Amino acid sequence: MATQSSSVQLPDWAWERIEVRQALRARDIGAVFRYVQQYAGSSQAKIAAAVDMTQARVNEIINGRREVSRLDVYERIADGLDMPDDARHLLGLASSRDRRSGGAAFDLAAFPEVVRVYSSQGSAREEIQQQARSALELDVLAVRGLGLIGLNDSLLRACLARDGGGRPLRVRVLLLDPASPLLSQRAAEIGESAESLAGGVKLAEARLRELSGACDIEVYRYAMLPTWRIIRTDSTMFVGAFDAGWEGHESATYKVMETSHGPLYRGFRRMFEAVLEGAERTV
């Protein structure tokens, strides 16, 4: 692990730049190193010392002749570049063990309910579908929901029908109100027209209405700026975040299990119910 004297320090604003966050989400370490050179003024030799590599290896990564794929190397790079926790999460890593100052409450190991971190929703696709196929309850908090449940090839749609009778799946879907001024704000954040985003919500509602014979489905419109993207299958949640720099499916995704004392699962479920209480049912 890099020592304090050999680590590279980027200014906080550099980690918040969209191009840096995109490189982290793509695990494009060559691009990350180039941004370190640009924003920290670091040489290849200094980067190499910080991340415990040879300068030749750093040069190969920067010039695309070698890729990083091992988790322990990602960890070493994150430590050597002194990445803040949100940057580590974009890279698919847990919070830094060396930057915690709040004791066990800030250690992921102290939260057994967080059982896995995925680099994006796509990385968790098979796991989410497996959970949804056997669930009795499915809650979804999204913006328009087309990629999650609104289209024939969406993540969850094929998981809703139950063969052989029995109790139908109970589904509750929360979508952003197309008439809310906050929809225009969200559309601007992702570089889309408000008309297009509103049309996507209405299309999702129409397609979800078609599912009334396959499952027990309820669809609601909420009027607030979306923050968390939630998929709950019984006692398991998959949680991502909405941000001005990306859409929800691009976020790092956390698998959260219900435990007897864990605050995260309970907190996210309580939030879902609070949003539901103020929402308008449309299906």
List, as one string, the DSSP characters of 165-216.
SSSPPEEEEEEE-TTSHHHHHHHHHTT--HHHHHHHHHHHHHHHHGGGGTSE
Q: How high is the pLDDT of residue 104? A: 43
pLDDT tens readout for residues 13-41 = 888 888 898 898 888 999 999 999 999 99
3-state secondary structure of 116: strand
Q: How high is the pLDDT of residue 237? A: 95
Mean pLDDT score of the chain: 87
User: Which one, of 243, 218, 209, lies nearest residue 229 by Cα?
Assistant: 243
Measured in whole angstroms, how far is the alpha carbon of residue 277 from the centre of its chain? 25
Are 71 and 184 members of one domain? no
Are 128 and 267 members of one domain? yes
Are 126 and 97 members of one domain? no
Look at the block and give the residue holding tokens 């290896």. 57
User: Which one, of 38, 51, 31, lies nearest residue 11 by Cα?
Assistant: 38
Look at the block and give the residue holding tokens 């920067």. 62
pLDDT above 70 for 177:
yes
Are 168 and 264 members of one domain? yes
pLDDT tens readout for residues 44-102 = 999 999 999 999 999 999 999 998 888 788 889 999 999 988 788 888 787 665 444 44
**Phi, psi (rounded to 5 degrees) for 96:** -70, 130
**Residue 82: domain span:** 12-104
Residue 6 maps to a domain: no
Contact indicator for 8, 82 with CB cutoff of 8 Å:
yes
Q: Are strands 114-118 and 280-281 parallel, antiparallel or unpaired?
A: unpaired
Into how many domains does the chain fold? 2
Boundary residue ending a domain (55, 75, 104): 104
What CATH code is carried by the domain that includes residue 220? 3.30.870.10
pLDDT tens readout for residues 200-231 = 999 999 999 999 888 899 999 999 998 999 99
What percentage of the chain has pLDDT greater than the value 70? 90
Q: 94 CB contacts (<8 Å, ≥6 apart)? A: 88, 108, 117
Could you tell me if residue 103 is left (phi over 0), alpha (psi between -120 and 50 degrees) or otherwise beta? Answer: left
Q: How high is the pLDDT of residue 111? A: 54
Are 100 and 131 members of one domain? no
pLDDT above 50 for 245:
yes
Look at the block and give the residue holding tokens 């430590």. 79
pLDDT above 70 for 107:
no
Residue 112 maps to a domain: no
Q: How high is the pLDDT of residue 163? A: 67
Are 129 and 257 members of one domain? yes
Boundary residue ending a domain (47, 76, 104): 104
pLDDT above 60 for 110:
no
What CATH code is carried by the domain that includes residue 41? 1.10.260.40
Are 167 and 54 members of one domain? no
pTM for the predicted model, two decimal places: 0.63
Contact indicator for 237, 256 with CB cutoff of 8 Å:
yes
Q: What is the largest CA-CA distance in the chain?
A: 65
Q: 95 CB contacts (<8 Å, ≥6 apart)? A: 85, 88, 89, 106, 107, 108
The token pair at 243 is 């941000």
Residue 114 maps to a domain: no
pLDDT above 90 for 277:
yes
Contact indicator for 264, 113 with CB cutoff of 8 Å:
yes
Are 269 and 136 members of one domain? yes
